[in-house]
Structure formats: structure tokens, C-alpha cells
Chains A and B, each alone.
Chain A
Amino acid sequence: MSSNQTSPTAPAIFRFFGVDNSADKRGALYVFVLLAALLITPIIVGDDFVYHVFITICLFAGLSTAWNIVGGYAGQLSLGHAMYYGIGAYTGMILVNAGITPWIGMFVGAAVSAVAAALIAYPCFRLKGPFYALASIAFLEVFHVLAIEMKWLTGGATGKMVPLQIGWEWMIFTERLPSLVIAFGMLCFVLAVAQVIRHRRMGFYLIATRERESAAKAAGIPTIKVRIYAAALSGALVSMLGTFHAMYLTFIEPDSAFDLIFSIQIVLFALVGGIGTVFGPLLGAILLVPITEISRGLLGASALGLHGFVYGVILMLVVVFMPDGVVSLLPKRARKALDPEQFDDTSGQPIGDTDLGQQQLDPIQTKARPPLGDEVLKVDDLVKNFGGLKVTQHVNISLRQGEVLGIIGPNGAGKTTLFNMLSGFLEADSGSVVVMGPDGKPHTPKGVADFVSLGVGRTFQIVQPFAAMTVEENIMVGAFYHHPDVDSARRVAGEIATELGLGRFLHEEAKNLPIGGLKRLEVARVMAMRPRILLLDEVMAGINPSDLVEAIRLIKAIRDTGVTIIAIEHVMRAIMDLSDRVIVINSGAVIAEGDPESVVRDEAVIEAYLGKEAGNAEA
């Protein structure tokens, strides 16, 4: 079951597991050697205790890898994953007592766990960091009590034996080798799932949601759905390993099946290896499990508390000195050596060449501007109050396709609040936003996902990069909206990055970009979604004069492809140059509207900005 999943024989399989270039191939080789050693070492040594240690490594590596899908990729720190392990163990045991093989029980348990995980994930999606951790502990305790109380099903606090039927059918053996083969197979399966998830759209979506939830929503990610999906998958995988372990131990009790310390142990291996990386948890388990199992084996009961103490100390040392885990030590060297190859291999795209970016930009520039189309956006009498503060007062906007509308106004005038209502992040108290859909019919979208599906894209005034992702990956998150396939998303991201002069930074992590680069990345990400209406929130603030000329040219090029643009901007040169029409907002109300030249001469506008009369200067 396992070997054909981890031994890639054809390029197609390489690609299926996200292995695209020779650096990845070398990584895959390392992992393959490591896994082979896990299977072969105990067979060569032939000692029962060595078998036991390696079975335990496989078990914990599998549990930890499965936890990592929720805890690492999605960033939700579950300290309650023992509950899925317990559900799997109990379901397997109960079904075996009813004469059903654990091979079936495993999947029944997985289904129960998936449902439980989804039911738990749904109400908890809003909880962050420590709150999520606390909720997961509470759920674990609930299951613990249920296992004790439902005596008729579980055997109560004293626990229950698994009937000792020997053979493959019952997953119980007199020798250790078959157990090792099963544990190893399951580990390979979990690793394969984790690897595939990480390198597909789902993995990008999970990490994007973890890094910046609102930016993820704006990129069209169904953030709640992907988290529930991850939780269910992770719970199901943990549960399957739980069923196996129950058969291996042949005895379960509530205190060990629903144990908080067990949960923490699962997390510990991922943390030590490297949270959020595919193979970190495996490394963590390989490094740590032998220490504790050997100390337990040698010292027996006299070592009570020793392995717990060691775990606790390791946990503290790792977070202080090596918060990114062992993995962070490895690939740094490897990556440095393999960097040039990585560049050459990226689907033949000549990236990293900004001159070429200019050339690509120019043809778009020379294209004639299409005439304005029909009305695509209508804002009718929009009102929003925060308590007593009137942030939006009876705002009306009408916009035609291909038009550029500039919004200006003093700080605190309510411009960003208006944007939040035009992109679904805020609901208006009254009034409506009507968007003409691609089908030519008017829609009144509710919520971010609705707006995104109608082709409304936005950037954020305070840039929201997915910091842990590269520039390419950031743009891919947007590109996935129309290109679910990783390869074409990557291609689109490369094209857009080049167009926006980000080609040089394609493989740079977003957190290393200067502010000008981050602003461009915001635009690139939203452009990858091919929006019909583009909301730009101060994308030119803080960029240098030469970049400004570039940026204005770029936005014109976007406009000329027929995209309708609303831009909040303080940079007057950009507003004057770009806008077909300008509206001025002060204290939540539109105080002037018209073509750029006439608006800047408007008395009310000058008052709002410069405060000729003190009474009018509040903003």
C-alpha cells in the first residue's frame, strides 16, 4: 500500500506530489531514504523492543503530520487532537467486540471523527490562538467525561480489552513485523495526503487564511469552508491511527485515550520538527520518540515523570532557541546550493528580468482606451453609523464600465469604511450596493464572497501580504480563483509579477519586500483574480516619485483592458491624472463631485482640507 505512494517512478507522480524541480527531487530522495530506514532498521536488528520503538515512531509521526494540517497549515493550535485518536480507538474496539474487523472500523471511526471535527470547527472558526487552544482542550475534556459516563458503550472509567483474535483480519499479531508494516503504511499514507494538500490549492488557501484572514477573503477564499475541510481531514487521519493503536495496545481506557498530555505530545513533535512544514513532524518524531521510549524501557517505573520532564524542557528550549524547528536548520544550506536550479526550472519562464517587464507593459499602453460602457455599480443612499459616529451619510455613486473614479477626502472622512461596504467587509445600516454581474443582470451582493464572485476586487490600505509566502505564492492565491490548477496559477502569477515589475522578487518571501513592493504585491494579487471592478485603497501612498509614474501608467493599462476602477488616493498628481471623475468625502458625506479640475477649485473642498473656517475643519 505504501511503497508505490512514496517511490515516485514517473514524472507524473512526481508532479502529483508537488515535486517540480531538482531541489524537490533531492528532498524527495532524502525523505525516501529516511522512510526506508524506518522500515528496514527494525527488520535488520530483529529485536522486539526496537520494533516497538519504530512502530511508536511511525504512529506519532503520523499523528503529528495529521495534526499539522490543522495546527500548522491552518494555524489553529488544537491541543485536543487526542479526542480524534480516542474516537478512533473506541470505535475500532467497539466494532471489534461486535465482530467487525478494524479495517472497516478504522473508516467508521474516521467518518465519526470527521463529522465531530467539522461540527467543532464550525463554531470555533472565529477563535484565534490561545482561545482556540482552550476550546480544543474543553472539547477533549467533554469527550473524556463522555467516555467515562457512557459505560454501556465504552466500559466506563476502567477501560476495555480488545478481544485477542490473532491475524491480519483483526490487526493483532504475535510478532511485531506486521504491526510495523501497518503503522509504516499508514504513516506513508498520511505523509502523502499532507504533501498533496500542501502543494495544491487547498494548502495555499489554508496558509493564506492563517496569515491574513481578511486578505484571504478578499482573494475569494471560502475561509470557513477550507478550515472545516482541514479539520475534518486531520481528525479522520488521526482517528485511523487511533484505531490501529488500540489494536496494537489491545486495551483502552478514557484516561489514556482522551489525554491532554498525549495531545500535547502530538503537537510537540510537529513543533520540534517544524510546524507547517510537510516533513517536520516526521523528523520531530524520529528525534524524540526513541529518547522517551528508551528511557521508559531501561528505567521502567522508576523513571516516572522523566520523559514528561524531558518533553517539557525540550518544548521550552525549542520555542526559545529554535522556534521554526529542526527543518529550519536543514533546507537553508540545501536551498543555498540549489538556488540557481530552482530559478531555471520554473516552467521556462524568463523571470527576474525587469526590462522584459517593461516591454510587456508597453503594448498594453499603446492600446486605445475603449469607450465607457454601461453602468456596472450603483450605490444608493448608503448609511453607516458606528455608535453615535456617522461614518457614511447618504452616499450615492454611479459608475460606468471602464471609468476611473477617484475618491479623496481628509483622514477619517470615511473613505475606507465606504470601501469596506463596497467589498462586503461591512454591512451598511441602510441603502444598497448594486453590482451588474457578468450575466448582465443587477445583483445586490451580501458578504465578501458574493462581491468577489461578481468580480469586485480590492486592495488594503494597510498592506496585507501573506508574510510567510513568496511573492509568487501570494499572487497564486489570487490566481487560484480562476485557475484551480497549481501549474496554470503559477504561470498566471509569473506573468502578472513580470507586468508589475515584481519578477525579480518572485521567490522572495513577502515579508522581505519594501513598502513599495508590498503595495505592488497587493495590486498583483487582486489583478490575478481578473476583477471587473477594482477598488484601490491608497496604493500610491509612500512610494517614491519614479515608482509613481510607473504606477500611474500601470493603472491606466489596467483601465484600458476595460476594468472599472475606484481609487482612494491622497497623491493629488495621481488623482488628477487618472480620474475621469472625483468625489470628495468629508465627515462621511459627499461634499463635491465632478471632473478633477473643477473639484479641486470647489470652495467646500478647499475648506474641508485647509479649514478656512474653524467650524468646517472637523474630520
Chain B
Amino acid sequence: MAGGSKPPPLNQRSNWHGVLLAMDLIFTNLVNGLMLGALYAIVSVGLTLVFGIIKVINFAHGEFLMVAMFLVFFATAYFGVHPYVTLVVVLPLIFGLGMLVQRVLIEPLQDSDEHIMIFATVGLSIAMINLMLMLFGPDIYSTPSSGLRTVVDMGPAMFLTGQLNILIAAIALVGGIHLFLTRTQLGRAIRATGQNRAAAQLMGINVSWVYMVTFGIGVSCVGLAAVLIAPLYPTSPEVGQYFVLLSFVVVVMGGLGSISGALLAAMIIGIVDAFAGFYLGANVKDLVVFGIFLLVLIFRPQGLFGGARNMSHVS
């Protein structure tokens, strides 16, 4: 029954075959789900980092992904290099763009009302999508796959080499960010600032700089994601919208600000996504994912894995 060869129609086979087929499907969907989850994890890690430290939900997070994917497309098209090579261009550009946005848009609003901050990033998101629409139209741009769409056939599970790379990259990224935040001086400064801005400032940390670096790192995660995704998914001005909604789900489920929580939640959502997509169809899948999202938001707004918030101090 291993991949490739077409199985005989269901009704001609014994129950035993049916069970095997069902298990194959489950296994295939599981592997698929993990691959998807890895993708969501890379996109979500940056979002949760930015929220955890700067306390901003960046509604334009997906648009940084979209812009980065366009960068990958044009870099590969003009220089004819492998998509992964474009990382050396994409990463610094996205990092710089992130720092700029933090400095110009987010920092001046740091102490204003919540709704102001929401509108600022929502405005940024709309402006970025529509700017790209004006420049490149609503068409789809396909980055050359450069061998990353080669099928890896491992028994019942089949996936693309590009997907495997995403899984590896996701684990490396989460591990890397964790090490960076816990083992380096800058990482410690970032965490300190996230926990208490005023105290960090008193300890001589340049908070404004830390925020800029954090935002830069946060959007650089989607820079990395873009390089990995572009060879597999077509690029369009609206591609970010799809991913950002899912990464909101992941980030809230994992507990806003928690990087390991985001990884775990991304895997869960990836698996749910794969199974629901296979058994229920693409639209109903969205219903399932957003249903889970709403349940988490309403019943466990602190995330699935975080402890309960201290609600004891009323006054």
C-alpha cells in the first residue's frame, strides 16, 4: 500500500484493508499536519515575541510576510539564484523595515489607548496590501521551486523536501530564539524590558533600541518564513491575510508572548487543519479552526498552557 501505487477501490477490499487505509490516511494527515504546524510556528513566533515584549498585537504581521515573499520572488527572478540564497538580502531588508516601523509608528503611540495601537497596525496592514496591489496587481507570482517540490516518499507519508526544511527550520528557530533570549546579554535586556519597562530603563537599558531590535527580530521570523514558503506557495498581495489569521489563532492558543506555547499550539492547529481540511473540506476547516480560536479566547484567554492570571487585585 506504500505510496505511488493506486489502491483498489474500497468496496472490493476486506475490512482489514479498510483499517490499513484508514491508518495510512491518519498517518499521512498527521505528517501533513506537523509540516503545516511548523510553517505556522515560524510565522507565529515573531508575532508572539513582539506581543510579549512590546505588548503590541501587530495586525500587519502577515503583510511583512507578503512583502518578504515578493522580495524572494524578485530576487530569484532577477538574479536567478536559489530561493534560500535570497535570505541574505531578505533578512536585513525586513529587519530594517521592522525597526523603521517600530521607530516611526509604534514608538510614538507606546502609551496611548489600546484602540489607537490596534488601528495603527491595522492601517499599516491595509496600506501595505493595497500598495502591493497598486504596484503588482492582484495576480499570483510563483517563485521557482528549485527542486524543493521534490516528493519525499517515506512509507505511507509523502511530503515535499521544502516542507521538511520548514520543519527543521521551525525547530531550529524556536530553539535559537530561546537560546538568544536566555543566554545573551541582548536577549536578557529584551526579556527585562518586556517584564518591566521602567525598571529596565533604570538599569541603563536603552528601551527604545531594545524595542526596535525586538520588532526587527519579530518580523525577521516571517522573513525566514517567506524564504521557505515562497517556493511552495504562490505569492500575492493578500497571501499575508491568510497566514496572519491562523497565526493569531496559534499565538492566542499558545498564550500571548509564550514562544514554546506558540510552537505547541502551531503543531496542534497544523494537525487540526490537516485533518479537518481532509475530512470536512477547506471552508468547513476554517470554521473548525476559528471555532477553536473563539473557544480558547472566551474560556482560556491566557492560552491553553499558561497559568491562570491573577485576578485577585480589584483595587
Contact = CB atoms under 8 A, between A and B. Distances in A.
A and B co-occur in one complex = yes
B123 interface: yes
A604 to B, nearest CB: 27
B287 A137 contact: no
B245 interface: yes
A480 B132 CA distance: 53
A505 B34 CA distance: 62
Interface in B44-63: 57
Given A79-B122, A460-B315, A461-B315, A308 B129 contact: yes
A79 B133 CA distance: 22
A453 B291 CA distance: 38
B156 interface: no
Contacts of B112: 319, 323
A460 B297 CA distance: 30
A133 B57 CA distance: 10
B128 interface: yes
A316 interface: yes
A271 B114 contact: no
A145 B287 contact: yes
Contacts of A75: 115
Nearest to A425: B314
A320 B108 contact: yes
B286 interface: yes
Q: Which of the listed residues A271, A308, A311 has the most CB atoms from chain B within 10 Å of its own CB?
A: A308
Contacts of B108: 320
Q: Which of the listed residues A130, A137, A141, A306 has the most CB atoms from chain B within 10 Å of its own CB?
A: A130
Nearest to B122: A264
Contacts of A79: 118, 122
B306 interface: no
A134 interface: yes
A142 B290 CA distance: 7
A53 B291 CA distance: 38
Interface string A50-92: 0000000000000000000001000101010000000000000
Given A214-B314, A304-B137, A127 B287 contact: no
A462 B315 contact: yes
A307 B132 CA distance: 13
Contacts of B245: 137, 141
Interface string B121-132: 011111111111
B294 A135 contact: yes
A308 B105 contact: no
Contacts of A261: 126
Given A130-B114, A137-B245, A319 B119 contact: yes
A129 B249 CA distance: 16
A530 to B, nearest CB: 22
A314 B57 CA distance: 20
Contact of A145 (B119, B133, B283): B283
B301 interface: yes
A318 B109 CA distance: 11
B122 A134 contact: no
B134 interface: yes
Given A142-B290, A461-B315, A308 B119 contact: no
Given A77-B115, A129-B115, A142-B290, A316 B129 contact: no
Contacts of A323: 112-113, 116
Contacts of A309: 126-127, 130-131, 133-134
Q: Is the interface of A mostly helix, strand, loop or mixed?
A: helix
A313 interface: yes
Interface residues of B, number: 49
A135 B298 contact: yes
A145 B109 contact: no
B85 interface: no
Interface residues of A, number: 59
A393 interface: no
Contacts of A305: 129-134, 237
Nearest to B135: A305
A146 interface: yes
A558 interface: no
A317 to B, nearest CB: 8
A591 interface: no
Given A126-B301, A145-B284, A312 B116 contact: no
B212 interface: no
Contact of A312 (B115, B130, B287): B130
A323 B105 CA distance: 13
Contacts of B297: 124, 127, 131, 134-135, 138
Interface in B259-315: 283-284, 286-287, 290-291, 293-294, 297-298, 301, 310, 312, 314-315
Contact of B126 (A128, A264, A464): A264
Contacts of B131: 305, 309, 312
A450 B132 CA distance: 56
B252 interface: yes
Interface string A353-394: 000000000000000000000000000000000100000000
B186 interface: no
A328 interface: no
A413 B218 CA distance: 43
A386 B123 contact: no
A137 B290 CA distance: 9
Nearest to B237: A305
A319 B109 contact: yes
Contacts of B137: 304
Contacts of A35: none
Nearest to B51: A130
A416 interface: yes
A386 B133 contact: no
B215 interface: no
Interface in A316-333: 316, 318-320, 323
Interface of B: 57, 105, 108-109, 112-120, 122-134, 137-138, 237, 241, 245, 248-249, 252, 283-284, 286-287, 290-291, 293-294, 297-298, 301, 310, 312, 314-315
9 contacts: A134-B252, A135-B298, A138-B297, A146-B287, A264-B126, A306-B130, A314-B123, A315-B122, A316-B127
Given A141-B245, A149-B283, A312-B128, 18 more contacts: A79-B122, A126-B298, A126-B301, A135-B297, A138-B293, A138-B297, A141-B286, A305-B134, A306-B134, A308-B127, A308-B130, A316-B120, A319-B117, A320-B109, A323-B112, A323-B113, A386-B310, A460-B315
Interface of A: 71, 75, 77, 79, 123-124, 126-131, 133-135, 137-139, 141-142, 145-146, 148-149, 214, 260-261, 264, 267, 271, 275, 304-309, 311-316, 318-320, 323, 386, 416-417, 419-420, 425-426, 460-462, 464, 537
